[in-house]
Amino acid sequence: MNRLESYLLISSILAALGVVTIASRRNAVAILMGIELLLNAAALNFVAFGRFVKNAAGTHPLDGQIFAIFIIVLAAAEAVILLAVIIAIYRQVESIDADRLRELKG
Amino acid sequence: MNGTVLGNVESIRYFLPEIVLVGTILAVIAFELLAGRGRAPEPPTAIGRRSPVCDGTLAIGLLGVAGSLAALLSLGYEGPLLLFEGAIAWDPFSIFFRWFFLAVAAAVLLIAHPYRPLVCLHYGEFVSLVVGTAFGMMLLASSTNLLLVYLALEMVSLPSYILAGFLRGDRKSSEAALKYAVYGAAASGAMLYGFSFLYGMTGSIHFFEMREAIASGGIPVVHLLVPIVLVLAGFGYKIAAVPFHMWAPDVYEGSATPITAFFSVGPKAAGLAVLIRFFHSVFAAGGEASLRVIGSVDWTLLLAILSAITMTLGNLAAIGQDNLKRMLAYSSIAHAGTMLMGAVVLGGSGVHAILFYLVVYAFMNLGAFLVVIAISIDKRRETIADFRGLGWRMPFLGVSMTVFLLSLTGVPPTAGFVAKFAILRALIEEEIYWLAVIGVLNTVVSLYYYARVIKAMFLDAPDPTEPALPSLSRIHLALLALFLVPTILLGFRFGVLDAIAAASRFLVVGS
């Protein structure tokens, strides 16, 4: 289990699930979950690469781990805004179904 | 140009313009809280009525932007630097964009001032969000580090999502916010996934260290191509390049028009800046004159195809639009494609042409949006039918709109012609003829839909039952003149702007 490939495999499964969720679900909250999966796949990649990949100087700087922390923080910020927008939509349309948003098209 | 790396403490001096902006955000919020204390909350009927508090927030916002400009001016420029241990570039390219974004933010704050649906609707938040977006855009244009690119991109995106949905209770506005946020979050997730692979293969998140790892070779094509495409999704979304453009028409139509004007210039320029810096610093090497692609993927070809598709689709989709904001959205997609053509040309001439184009584009596009804003100040008048007879009812507005639209088309003797010519010249010098031909053909297509608006303004009779249009406010009149003069003047006296763009094309390429 302690090999780079196993982490990359898990993260690619996460990313694939995220993309499928974003593309196929119509519920806005479910789409948000798909986005979170995609972000976490990237974060897992960063941590795994940070652990296994050496830089040019042959050392392991903590760049990957730090990047993952920033991803977690920003994912939270993004979720806050998306949920706020979803609530604003729900107040007007009484639904969070992305297919029912048809005011704007052309 | 090699830059000197500065430590954290010495760098703070050069970060002053950004620090002033952050202070402005806090000051605006604090002022609104303190000045509004003890008053009853504004009733919904107060929308459109001005109060000292809301004028005060605008004044603080403008003062902050002016202070940031003054700080930028007082710092001067003595040579390229890399601030904060190599995370932020201080080079002519980034200084140009700092100026550009501050000017755009100030213009948008002023444009929004007389626009009634926005006035006094949480005005402090509006000002702080616009200033915050400007801060993010300045950071985005100067970051030389993957982590900072991601942070800055989100600093642009998150306030933009809120701005798109700023008209609370307006269904179109909320829908625009949701579409913007969902597409944006998905695009930045894809970009981040691409970043993680680039980090894995190069072992670094610093642009110049990544470039060394890529230049030393040994990374297979597939391993570079997939991350590059993913990263292009993130940047292309900000620029609204096809196929990452789907959000643009809906968001442009649904948002309040001053905010739409902001989106069409600010974040687009920021996306272009980060795209140029990323590809020129990570996937190209060899100094200004002999810059060449490194690594196994020819990303210039990718960009060329992307720009050709973007221009063509943007222009073709604009033809059928009856809503002027949607039409301008597709036209801004087409202009993004035109500017991407410049990014295909390596070496200074491409960047030079893009910088020139960006300034001209800001004048003519903000001008065109300003006319839409000026006549829809009290209610949504955004369709081409609403423009019928405008040339006779309000001649100054009609004539200005005509100039802006002709300039957007690229008809001489307007500034748009010179700007488009500069991009095409750069392409022809590099002997990329096929792309130049597509660019010229697209100009012909665009003439059709811009001319439709001009025809409606001057040849169609106005609807006699239509009530009188709102009169032009003084701020809008001044701004209209401010946008109109350069749009005409730069058509034949472009020496100064050309010199500025030429001097600003240099990017720091290492330490």
Range of the domain at B346: 4-503
Residue B211 lies in a domain: yes
Contact B402, B457 (CB under 8 A): yes
Cβ–Cβ below 8 Å for A81 and B190: no
Residue B511 lies in a domain: no
Burial of B221 (0-12, 13-18, 19+ CB in 10 A): exposed
What are B331-375's pLDDT values in tens digits?
A: 999 999 999 999 998 878 899 999 999 999 999 999 999 999 988
Cβ–Cβ below 8 Å for A35 and B182: yes
ipTM of this complex: 0.94
What are B102-111's pLDDT values in tens digits?
A: 999 999 999 9
Contact B382, B325 (CB under 8 A): yes
Q: What is the mean pLDDT of residues B304-330?
A: 93
What are A5-40's pLDDT values in tens digits?
A: 999 999 999 999 999 999 999 899 999 999 999 999
Contact B181, B161 (CB under 8 A): yes
pLDDT of residue A3: 86
C-alpha distance from A86 to closest chain B C-alpha (Å) = 7
Q: What is the mean pLDDT of residues B169-186?
A: 90
Residue B509 lies in a domain: no
What is the DSSP annotation of B288-317? TTT-EE-SS--HHHHHHHHHHHHHHHHHHH
Q: Which of A46, A81, A98 sits opposite B196 (nearest CB)?
A: A46
Q: Which of B153, B155, B192 to mutate to test the interface with A (most CBs of A within 10 A)?
A: B192
The domains found in chain A, sorted by start residue, are: 4-99 (1.10.287.3510)
Q: What is the mean pLDDT of residues B213-228?
A: 86
Residue B190 lies in a domain: yes
Q: Which of B125, B161, B166, B193 to mutate to test the interface with A (most CBs of A within 10 A)?
A: B193
C-alpha distance from B250 to closest chain A C-alpha (Å) = 6
Contacts with A, B 210-269, CB within 8 Å:
212-213, 249-250, 253-254
Burial of B488 (0-12, 13-18, 19+ CB in 10 A): middle
What does pTM read for this prediction? 0.94
C-alpha distance from B213 to closest chain A C-alpha (Å) = 8
Residue B510 lies in a domain: no
Percent with pLDDT over 90 in chain B: 66
Burial of A9 (0-12, 13-18, 19+ CB in 10 A): exposed
What residue in A sits closest to B195 (Cα-Cα)?
A42
**B51 near A CB under 8 A:** no
d(CA B6, CA B12): 10
Q: What is the mean pLDDT of residues B280-307?
A: 85
Chain A residues with CB-CB distance to B133 below 8 A: none
Residue B86 lies in a domain: yes
pLDDT of residue B463: 73
Work out the number of other CB atoms within 10 angstroms of the CB of residue B222: 10
Contacts with A, B 427-486, CB within 8 Å:
none
Contacts with A, B 183-202, CB within 8 Å:
185-186, 188-190, 192-193, 195-197, 199-200
Residue B286 lies in a domain: yes
Per the structure, the count of domains in chain B is 1
